[in-house]
Structure 1
Amino acid sequence: MGAAASAETVTGRRGEATVDRAVGLLAGRVRCRLADAHRHLLRMAEEQNRDLAEVAAGVINLLDIPDLAEMGRTPQPNLVSFPAPPGLPRRDPWPTAAQRILDALPGASALFTPVRDAEGRLLDLVFAAVTPEAVAPDGRRGRELIGTTMSGWFPRTITSDRWNIYAEVLATGDPADVPPFPYFDSIYSVRAHRVGGGLLLTWFRHEDPGDSDRVDSTERLGNLGWGEADLVSGVVRWSDQLYRIYERDPALGPLTQPELDAMTLAEDLPLRTAAEEAFARFERVDLTLRVRVNGQVKHLRTVADAARDATGRPLRVFGIVQDITERETSAQRLAEVERQLADQRRDLAAEHALAATLQQIILPLPDGPLTLPGLKVALRYLPAGQESLVGGDWYHAAQARDGSVLLAVGDVAGHGTQAATTMAQLRHALRALAVVTTDPAVLLGHLNRLTCELERDRPELAATAVVARFDPMTRRLTWAQAGHPPPLLCRAGRTTPLARPAGCMLGVLEDAGYATATLDLATGDVLLLYTDGLVEHRRRGPDDGLRAVMTAMDDAVLTSPQRPLEQVLDRLRQANPDDDTCILAVRTVTGETRDLRHYLSLS
């Protein structure tokens, strides 16, 4: 009896764990609350007259994403394929999985399937999966492009030098960078990867340092616009993005209050009245209303406040409007997931394999050391000893607009596609924020707020990071950390950890503050930034791991004082079986040292 009861207990716990995992995956996929996802599972089990754990297992299998390369080679009859356009070959089913990955990525990227002639020459490329921000010349974006061709939208590409590069990437599998080229009034470059039998292209728009469109780009990224009304003069101003949200011609000017009232759904008018009453009580307004724009219902969140005179009379009203329609339609996505559940099954191993492919695309490593102002930088990524443990480690090393050098490493808790996706969001956010500020403490504050926002949809999400700014003129390093292991400094052959300034993990406290520390680097100093996989190991404590790394750095500098970075990375190449590791090694250099770089492959 005791053994039977114990077995039943274990089985019950496994069932609960399966349901919990399915709820988490479902809520994360469709961006809904955990409670809504759980209720949806219960309804599915009741309607299908099936056990809740069995339905949950089906959801888990559905949301585990297969390896793109394997899917490209082996037909999967249970997957839904995209219809091929007339005259083109039927497409492989695996782009369905790729589309779900691209849906979560920022920027403009697309996965193409090649069209070839009888001799195997590349004739055209067909859109198979597209990120939401990819836009065609006529305004179509995202999934609206699926099934159309490259030649249909960009006929000059077929005859350009870029076409030969794309064909070479498909033939060899080696990624390539397309040099900058003009397109309309902007300059673009392209990164090309072969994924399975397809071609993944990512477009980058090069901003002019004095480009006034920077604010507009930020508004597009957040899908929000701003407006203000001068109640004294009666002048009302809208940003370009606000006109886009309301799909209004800027030549017509901002909407009037009666026009705005007419667009609001009647059921939401009491909310507007309540907001107006709160505004009259000197409160800031924060409400979400449904409006009908050109026959489409949008969910718009408005945050507004006012500048007032000494009596409290408003003189100027200002605010932002954000289109959150996607978030508010999560119930429709739940229904879509349920429909796909009938004919799509995934397994956990394939999900990790796809996450690994995604991670390699998001986090490309340079072929050799980077030469930045006053610094040589070498990078290494060590995947976990267990192939299934794909993590969220990331790095950043680039010159900022103000001439300084920004260095960073970070680690998202957990493994799999969710960790890789969150890693991509944080890394892209840091790169975007560096346009506005290079203060490490301010950057970590922004990343913390972003992580807290993501945590609302992904419970228990947490991450760590260290961000450093190096001024090549003063040779001063300013750095801050968020629950991350301290950098290691090797000076005169002796390695020590830097004293950490205050700073908690990302995603724990929404109003967390971060302190900075400064250090003047001398010529020949070696600095190591790393993630915790380098020092934490199941067979030893973190202190033992830290001492081993410090000893390795001392030996590397002693063995090769002229080329220490190569020696450091060579000694730290052993993978951690429990976690992946990202290592960023930095050495200060002089102008004279840089002139000798053709003699030294790595210094």
Structure 2
Amino acid sequence: MGGRQAYVEAVESLRPSQQAEDAGRALVDRAVGLLAGRTRCRLSDAHRHLLQMTADQGRDLVDVAAGVITLFDVTEPSARGAAPHPRLPAVGVAQVRRAEPWLATAQAVLDGMPGQAALLLPVLDAGRLVDLEFAAATPEAEVADGLHGRALIGSRLGDHLPESLLSERWRRYERVLDSGEPAEVGPFLLAGERYTVRAHRVGSGLLMSWERHDRSPGESERIAGTERLGNLGWGEWDLVSGEVRWSAQVFRIYERDPALGPMSREETEALTLPEDLPLRMAAVEAFERGEQVDVTLRARVHGRVKYLRTVADAVRDAAGSPLRIYGIVQDVTAREAGARRLAEVEHQLAEQRRSAAAEHALAAQLQRAILPIPDGPVALPGLKVAVRYLPAGQEGMVGGDWYHATTLGDGSVLLAVGDVAGHGTQAATTMAQLRHSLRALAVTTSDPGELLGHLNRLTCDLDAETPEIAATAIVARFDPARRRLTWAQAGHPPPLLSRGGRTAPLPRPSGPMLGVVEDARYECAVLDLAIGDLLLCYTDGLVEHRSRGLDDGLDAVIRAVDESVRASPRQPLGELLARLRRANPDDDTCILAVRPITGETQDLRRYLGRR
């Protein structure tokens, strides 16, 4: 257990600060918020579009979300322990964030609404709704203590009306948040006054309007308020009398003085953009066949292009000829503009993926060129060495894992395994520099501690050119005459030694990661290998996995080593590499398995052929 604890302590600092599932959810929420903010659409539309992109591309939702965040040049939560970004509001579960663009849009809408209404976002405690916070309000919105309009923003319903939190009304509000079904509550008495409250779920909160019955508006005012809220109006055309009637909102949509009366059919048709005339003619033909029409056309109104949705039907005579045409006109310019911006974002994401794929191909090509993997075991003085490289399971995750195994001029053997933090071309390039530098430095010294000291200074120099470079490594020298292994490590997981049917991590000599402390010193440890021993060096992708804990990953590898030795005690290397063949979706893995040999050891290539 002492060796295992040493391993856990060695890599504990590299573990994420929260579970990957929570981090993934935070990524998705942040991507939705950014998408809504940048395209100025509703959170629900942005979330729906993100899901659609995921389905269309056949990719993981978290990967698509990460692409959105990267596109908007916002730093993602680091896989190496950086705290994730704050979660954005999700329906029914988030705190109010007044800085979000969609809340500013909501306030702009409420500024133009009559009557008393406000957007309130939920305040949660352990997942339970405990209060509602004002995020936007109409100018006429007022509470019992006299606070009104934008002065309400930031305060909570319980601050003004604590009795509401204990009433039956509160459970109605919770149901609206949970189900999305609107509700009308009342009339009820509050502070001696009679009120009716209407609640609709909008985005992550409740849009609530309330009427004080001794001041309730007339029916016409309510209709006008509804028209403004939906940015729609109604119209009628009596074909018998020729009379045309518009509601006030239609005049506002067409920016026409009501004193001039409704426009004629010819005037409205003249506003339609020529490119949309075929669509308009198709709608007219459908109407003449007796169908209800629902069409969105572009109209140029006082120099600005608006998207106007028209839904029209008719009262017809026995022969099917229209007698009276009625319908609604809705200005959906904001919605269409948001859809266009979402399409632009999707196009930019596609370009980003193509660029990422090109970088992935380049990094993979570079990696193959500088890190050739032998087809079979490598015979070195006194050792058989087998290598396996498992690329990450995710596309674009080419990393900086590397190995080195060669004979030195004095007849000893130099072994090394290393891991450069990060992925992509930069990680592969840094890996190449470290590997080739080690090969060159081995001409001057074969001491593993000194070699790591040189690599550390090189990494610090590289970090000055490209910040935030960090790497780990193990370097070992094997003396075949004495079967003695001298090794040092730089923040790397310790090797596993299988001896006598039991596998455990080796106690680590001290040594920090490469590139962190410029004048770092690296101690060496000594291990005498015996015939029958098996030594496994590896990078952390072998034991770290988002779906299991660190101890579970280490236990699984130890079991694989023990089972391989039991299954093939004389030639366990091929059996071991056959078992350690499952790729980590999050990280590359490099495995270096070493077994001391004598002149009687058999050739193992036929065992390594099992992949």
Instruction: Indicate whether the TM-score tops 0.5.
Output: no
Give the structure-2-normalised TM-score: 0.43
Q: Which has the larger radius of gyration?
A: 2
Give the structure-1-normalised TM-score: 0.43
